[in-house]
Chain A
Amino acid sequence: MITINNIHFSHSATSPAVLQGISLQAEQGHLTTILGPNGCGKSTLFKCIAGLWKPDFGEISFNDINILTLTHQQRAKLIAVVPQDHEPPFPYSVLDAVLMGRAAHVGMFATPSRRDRQAAESAIEEVGISHLLHKSYTKISGGERQMVLVARALAQDARAMLFDEPTSHLDFRNQVLVLRKIRQIIVRRSVTAILTIHDPNAAMLFSDSVVVVKEGRVVVQGPPCEIITEELLHEVYGIEVVIGKINGAMVITPHISSESSDNGEEDAKIVNFDSHKNHRKRRLCLT
């Protein structure tokens, strides 16, 4: 279980605080999703949990171990991080890329052993990309690359996993496939998992617990079907939405027509941004 207790973060002493007392809990075997609009402090919070940035104060612990005082190597044995999709400078093979997950376990003056290689291969098998083993990591699709990063995190053999917007660069099909696979792994391995995401629908569908963050504070945390309401989403995102039920799942859909109450406000923002575009938009609405 990951417990975060009242962390504060600001980039420098003079700049305003990005995180203002965040507390949350992520249970073992559950997928805990951090949801919030751009600029809410989601990625800052993620970097703090991952150990890249140190909060000004507050505590982050995993199974009662304070992770803020660990070295990178000690922490990497407990928590594996799946970063956003990225382009490496050299075209490593998928196997070599996954093998990097073993870095915390390989001695400083050593190369990966047979055991490390086996761990990498079984991780590749577990996420179902064995056919890519010797393919170049730069020449596979974004969805496949995301799965390689998931396999790398599995090879790391950690009891907690963090996912940084794993679906942000993917098409619809791959978003679903990747999230499904992540869920399956979390349940099977019974790891503690935290995931950040933009899309409230995906958060509703796939997570056990949702933490809604706005302006550096937690608005609410709980099971998605209990806490996510039309009012909450309006409060956090500033747009009117309707929540309905399709096929037993809760689905969020925004208002599209300009008649609804929030659109005046939204239009005003767009005018500031680009008045020309707004004209066109209005014309489309009229016709």
Chain B
Amino acid sequence: MTRKTVIHALVLTSPLFIASASLFIGAYGVSPLMVVRSLLYELLPYGSAMADLPEKSIILDIRVPRVLLAAIVGVALSGSGVTLQGVFRNPLVDPFILGLSAGAAFGCAISIGFFPALPVQLSAFLFSIGSVLLAYNIARSQGEVSRLPLILSGVIISAFFTALTSIVKFLVDPHKLQNIVFWLMGSFSLADWHTISVSGVGILIALCPVYLMRWRLNVLSMGEDEAKLLGINVMRDRLIFVVSSTIAVSLAVSVSGIIGWVGLMVPHLVRMITGPDHRTLVPLSMAAGAAFMIFADTVARSITTYEIPVGIITAISGAPFFIYLMKKGGKESWGR
């Protein structure tokens, strides 16, 4: 029991450790002392000499917002991954596989390319909720959603919206094209305090119902009929979970582009440690998602002289993980 508590505490606090470490790493060399002094500057403004130093602004205006945004996006992707897995009682889905991310990406692309008046976040949300409902209804038969059909319909929806996004890229003017392409690859390089105060806060608010209702995921994962027999309003609860996680994911996509696999990988790893009870699984997945995202982003921005899009890092680690799950789970994961 105590050992379990220690492990839970470690996972919950892991984003703090990784974030602190991440602040010391970056393309522009800032000495550790300078990092600490810059961080303290906001709390106790000592001496005006500090205010103009580039190091200070690198830490406070670039690295800190970036680490924070990575953490929040990690929370969004991993939190919605664990939610969708529970709601659809399918351990193999995440926002990326269900076509949610592709829908959001298309929403963002047409907003950037053709309708600048339409807020990117709103457009992303509309198309991602559309894609998840489509995937769900294609896969649904006789009141239940089987595992394989859901994944297949997710793949179909994903391919469809990716194709639509390609049309947008083809038709849009070259200047905007560059924006879209760069942003689609998935990156936190545009992080600033403004994005955090709008999208970051939005994500955290959207995930509140998911966190509060997390125990109900246990009941929902038993299937539609059983959840009803146990006294749950299945349609209402499913809708709340799906809409909340879709808002979180579309906000995440609108600030950082498509970052796949996090929502699949992190909840699985956490489930191996804590077991499937969503009361602990949801908060720990969120924390671990934040930690993983900060870590991946730190690798992305520091491993080479040029910055690698973080979506590439997560895909490189995610694809082998998915194969591992397939092989290991075998019948267990793929059967009905």
Is A59 part of the binding interface, using a Cβ–Cβ cutoff of 8 Å? no
Q: Mark B232-250, 1 if CB is under 8 A from A, else 0.
A: 1110000000000000000
Alpha-carbon gap, A191 to B332, bound state (A): 37
**Contact between A83 and B215 (Cβ–Cβ < 8 Å)?**
no
Inside 8 A of A75's CB, which chain B residues have their CB?
231
**Contact between A83 and B213 (Cβ–Cβ < 8 Å)?**
no
Q: Mark A90-104, 1 if CB is under 8 A from B, else 0.
A: 111100100111011
Is B63 part of the binding interface, using a Cβ–Cβ cutoff of 8 Å? no
Inside 8 A of B230's CB, which chain A residues have their CB?
76, 100-101, 103-104, 152, 156
9-residue interface stretch from B22-30, B44-52, B220-228, B316-324: B220-228
Is A89 part of the binding interface, using a Cβ–Cβ cutoff of 8 Å? yes
Inside 8 A of B43's CB, which chain A residues have their CB?
none
**Contact between A89 and B221 (Cβ–Cβ < 8 Å)?**
yes
* Residue from B212, B226, B271 having most chain A Cβ neighbours under 10 A: B226
Query: Which residues 66-123 of A have a CB within 8 angstroms of B?
Result: 71-77, 81, 83, 86, 88-93, 96, 99-101, 103-104, 106, 108-112
Is B130 part of the binding interface, using a Cβ–Cβ cutoff of 8 Å? no
**Contact between A93 and B275 (Cβ–Cβ < 8 Å)?**
yes
Say yes or no: A90-B221 contact (C-beta < 8 A), given A71-B233, A73-B233, A109-B212: yes
Alpha-carbon gap, A50 to B231, bound state (A): 11
**Contact between A72 and B279 (Cβ–Cβ < 8 Å)?**
no
**Contact between A72 and B233 (Cβ–Cβ < 8 Å)?**
yes
Alpha-carbon gap, A106 to B214, bound state (A): 12
Is A51 part of the binding interface, using a Cβ–Cβ cutoff of 8 Å? yes
**Contact between B91 and A89 (Cβ–Cβ < 8 Å)?**
yes
Inside 8 A of A156's CB, which chain B residues have their CB?
230-231
**Contact between B91 and A103 (Cβ–Cβ < 8 Å)?**
no
Q: Mark A237-269, 1 if CB is under 8 A from B, else 0.
A: 000000000000000000000000000000000
Is A65 part of the binding interface, using a Cβ–Cβ cutoff of 8 Å? no
* Residue from A50, A77, A81, A111 having most chain B Cβ neighbours under 10 A: A111
Q: Mark A148-165, 1 if CB is under 8 A from B, else 0.
A: 000010001000000000
Q: Which residue of A lies closest to B336 (CB)?
A: A87
**Contact between A52 and B225 (Cβ–Cβ < 8 Å)?**
yes
Q: Which residue of B lies closest to A152 (CB)?
A: B230
Alpha-carbon gap, A99 to B271, bound state (A): 19
Interface size of B by CB at 8 A reads 30
**Contact between A91 and B276 (Cβ–Cβ < 8 Å)?**
yes
Alpha-carbon gap, A88 to B219, bound state (A): 10
Q: How far does the Cβ of A52 sit from chain B's closest Cβ, in whole Å?
A: 6
**Contact between B225 and A83 (Cβ–Cβ < 8 Å)?**
yes
**Contact between B231 and A104 (Cβ–Cβ < 8 Å)?**
yes
Q: Mark B186-214, 1 if CB is under 8 A from A, else 0.
A: 00000000000000000000000100111
Inside 8 A of A77's CB, which chain B residues have their CB?
231
Query: Which residues 245-274 of B have a CB within 8 angstroms of A?
Result: 271
Q: How far does the Cβ of A160 sit from chain B's closest Cβ, in whole Å?
A: 12
Alpha-carbon gap, A50 to B221, bound state (A): 19
**Contact between A100 and B218 (Cβ–Cβ < 8 Å)?**
yes
Q: Mark B268-289, 1 if CB is under 8 A from A, else 0.
A: 0001000111010000000000
**Contact between A100 and B222 (Cβ–Cβ < 8 Å)?**
yes
Inside 8 A of A81's CB, which chain B residues have their CB?
229
Q: Which residue of A lies closest to B208 (CB)?
A: A109
Say yes or no: A103-B221 contact (C-beta < 8 A), given A75-B231, A91-B275, A91-B276: no
Q: Mark B12-47, 1 if CB is under 8 A from A, else 0.
A: 000000000000000000000000000000000000
Which among A52, A71, A111, A112 is the interface contact of B229 at CB below 8 angstroms? A52
Inside 8 A of B214's CB, which chain A residues have their CB?
111
Inside 8 A of A89's CB, which chain B residues have their CB?
89-91, 221
Q: Which residue of B lies closest to A96 (CB)?
A: B277
**Contact between A72 and B218 (Cβ–Cβ < 8 Å)?**
no
**Contact between A72 and B232 (Cβ–Cβ < 8 Å)?**
yes
Residues of A in contact with B (beta carbons under 8 Å apart): 50-52, 71-77, 81, 83, 86, 88-93, 96, 99-101, 103-104, 106, 108-112, 152, 156
Selected A-B contacts with CB under 8 Å, 23 pairs: A52-B225, A71-B233, A72-B231, A74-B231, A76-B230, A77-B231, A83-B226, A86-B223, A88-B222, A90-B221, A90-B276, A92-B277, A93-B277, A96-B218, A96-B276, A99-B218, A103-B219, A104-B230, A109-B212, A109-B213, A111-B214, A152-B230, A156-B230
Residues of B in contact with A (beta carbons under 8 Å apart): 86, 89-91, 209, 212-216, 218-219, 221-223, 225-234, 271, 275-277, 279
